[in-house]
């Protein structure tokens, strides 16, 4: 989890910080992120605003922490896929499906959290950039593994292959696009994976 | 141009309709679409609101007409590319570049029009859906031509190939994504085109 250095504390305070994140998560889930002020949040949690500011220097810092939790869950799912005993093409396919499913799930069942993730991307929060980097590094790992095993072509510079695939994932993972294509998301994820795998053929 | 049947008139009225579209275009460009009411627009053009409603049944109908003008310009550029005496892979490349350039141009030099196009997509206006269909049909045409000439593979169902390519174009043509990736747009368009062309290799 990424935090502002100014908000860091020892182990006891660490627990308190986690409590604040959990309570803020619940509050944002119910009332939304944009409408809530730090004062509203402090009141709902039963803490003073000043005390809350000891851990986070802004509402955005709390939003970032929650956003990172969402991303961590998604990354854990994808990392599980990467460690499975399956071929690199299957790993790519499952990564695409996982992104699409998680995104749709957040949108359908946890709409207000989906809105926070959308804000994070729109406003280029650190949490969103870190997630992009992590996802990109997972994709690079799968491509390199596929190249080693002779499953994927080796001519395209790895940076380019990786960037192009990351871009091609946008329609199934960007909150705005995902929302627009919700009905065809599963088929779209499969079709994009197929296109990417054809592009990787040796 | 697509219009509500209720707004259709004879040749003289047709000229007047074009005048309204041109004036509305200028007005929206300067003051934005969302903030302008039909009454504001009528006043600025020097017509009564009632007269304006003779041609368009809502502000959205005027927005749609302007949006269609934007799209027509872009489609004309792409159709010119398609008619050039170049190979199908080059046609695809140029189509991608054209989409990226036009989108960036609108965003940088005509921000308020960019916002109208963004609304059109977000709210699934007829103009946006018609543009998608037209673009998709151009891509299908290029793929089929490439298949005939033995430049592209023929195994993938044409509907799937076409849909997947249309999806892969989103990062360089969707207003929200384009805005986010503005600095890398040219390179991104090239990288996506390369990926798509690798996927089409026989």
What angle in degrees, to the nearest 10, is found between the helix axes of B111-122 and B11-31? 110
C-beta atoms of B195 and A196 within 8 A: yes
Rounded CA gap, A28 and A160, in Å? 38
| A67 close to A120: Cβ distance less than 8 angstroms | yes
Buried b (16+ CB within 10 A) or exposed e, B102-118: bbbebbeeeebbbbbbb
Q: What pLDDT digit, counting tens, does each position of B68-111 carry?
A: 888 888 999 999 999 999 999 999 999 999 999 998 888 888 88
User: Considering all CA atoms of chain A, what is the largest pairwise distance in Å, rounded to the nearest integer?
Assistant: 61
C-alpha B123/C-alpha B125 separation (Å) is 6
Q: Out of 3.40.50.620, 1.10.760.10, 1.10.357.10, 3.30.70.60, which CATH number does the structure's domain B66-200 have?
A: 1.10.357.10
More confident residue, A9 or B138: B138
Distance CA B85, CA B198 (A): 22
- In the 8-state DSSP scheme, what is residue A83? H
3-state secondary structure chain B: CCCCHHHCCCHHHHHHHHHHHHHHHHHHHHHCCCCCCHHHHHHHHCCCHHHHHCCCCCHHHHHHHHHHHHHHHHHHHHHHHHHCCCCHHHHHHHHHHHHHHHHHHHHHHCHHHHHHHHHHHHCCCHHHHHHHHHHHHHHHHHHHHHHHCCCCCCCCCHHHHHHHHHHHCHHHHCHHHHHHCHHHHHHHHHHHHHHHHHHHCC
In the predicted structure, residue B9 carries a pLDDT above the cut 80: no
- With CB atoms and an 8 Å threshold, state whether B167 touches A199: no
Instruction: Tell me which chain A residues have a C-beta less than 8 angstroms from the C-beta of B122.
Output: 176, 180
pLDDT digits (tens, 9 = 90+) for A145-163: 999 999 999 999 999 999 9
Other beta carbons within 10 angstroms of residue B158's beta carbon come to: 12
CATH code of domain B5-61: 1.10.10.60
Amino acid B8: pLDDT: 36
Q: What residue spans define the domains of chain B?
A: 5-61, 66-200
Confidence of residue A13 (pLDDT cuts 50, 70, 90): low
Structure tokens, B78: 């792409």
Q: Give yes or no for A61 touching B (CB within 8 A).
A: no
Contact B198 A196 (CB under 8 A): no
Confidence of residue A93 (pLDDT cuts 50, 70, 90): very high
C-beta atoms of B171 and A176 within 8 A: no
Provide the shortest C-alpha distance from residue B171 to chain A (in Å): 6
Q: Pick A177's closest partner by Cβ from B164, B170, B198.
A: B170
Q: B-chain residues within 8 Å CB-CB of A168?
A: 167-168, 171, 192, 195
- CB neighbours of residue A182 within 10 Å: 15
Q: What is the pLDDT of residue B13?
A: 64
What pLDDT, in 10s, does the model give residues B36-66? 888 988 988 888 999 888 888 888 889 888 8
Using a CB–CB cutoff of 8 Å, tell me whether B69 touches chain A.
no
**Domain A65-200 is classified in which CATH homologous superfamily?**
Tetracycline Repressor, domain 2 (1.10.357.10)
Task: Please classify residue A145 by burial: count the beta carbons closer than 10 Å to its beta carbon, then call 0-12 exposed, 13-18 middle and 19+ buried.
Answer: middle
Chain B positions touching A194 (Cβ under 8 A) are 156, 160, 164
Task: Name which of B12, B20, B8, B59 is nearest B36 in CA terms.
Answer: B59
Find which of B136, B170, B175 to mutate to test the A interface (most A CBs within 10 Å of its CB). Answer: B170
**Residue B125 backbone phi and psi in degrees, to 5:** -65, 155
What is the rounded CA–CA span in Å between residue A77 and residue A94? 10
Across the interface, of B168, B176, B181, the residue whose CB is closest to A192 is B168
Burial class (CB in 10 A: 0-12, 13-18, 19+), A137: exposed
pLDDT attached to residue B11: 45
């Amino acid at each position: 989890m990424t935090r502002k250095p100014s908000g860091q504390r020892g182990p006891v305070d660490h627990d308190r910080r986690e409590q604040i994140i959990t309570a803020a998560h619940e509050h944002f889930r119910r009332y939304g992120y944009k409408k809530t002020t730090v004062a509203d949040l402090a009141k709902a949690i039963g803490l003073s605003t000043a005390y809350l500011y000891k851990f986070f220097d802004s509402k955005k810092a709390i939003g970032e922490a929650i956003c990172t939790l969402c991303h961590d869950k998604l990354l854990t799912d994808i990392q599980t896929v990467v460690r499975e005993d399956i071929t690199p093409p299957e790993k790519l396919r499952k990564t695409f499906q996982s992104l699409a499913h998680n995104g749709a799930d957040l949108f359908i069942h946890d709409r207000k959290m989906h809105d926070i993730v959308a804000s994070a991307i729109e406003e280029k929060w650190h949490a969103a950039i870190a997630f992009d980097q992590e996802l990109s590094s997972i994709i690079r790992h799968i491509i390199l593994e596929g190249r080693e095993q002779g499953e994927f072509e080796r001519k395209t510079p790895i940076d380019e292959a990786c960037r192009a695939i990351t871009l091609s994932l946008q329609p199934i993972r960007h909150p705005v696009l995902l929302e627009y294509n919700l009905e065809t998301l599963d088929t779209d994820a499969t079709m994009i994976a197929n296109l990417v795998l054809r592009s990787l053929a040796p």
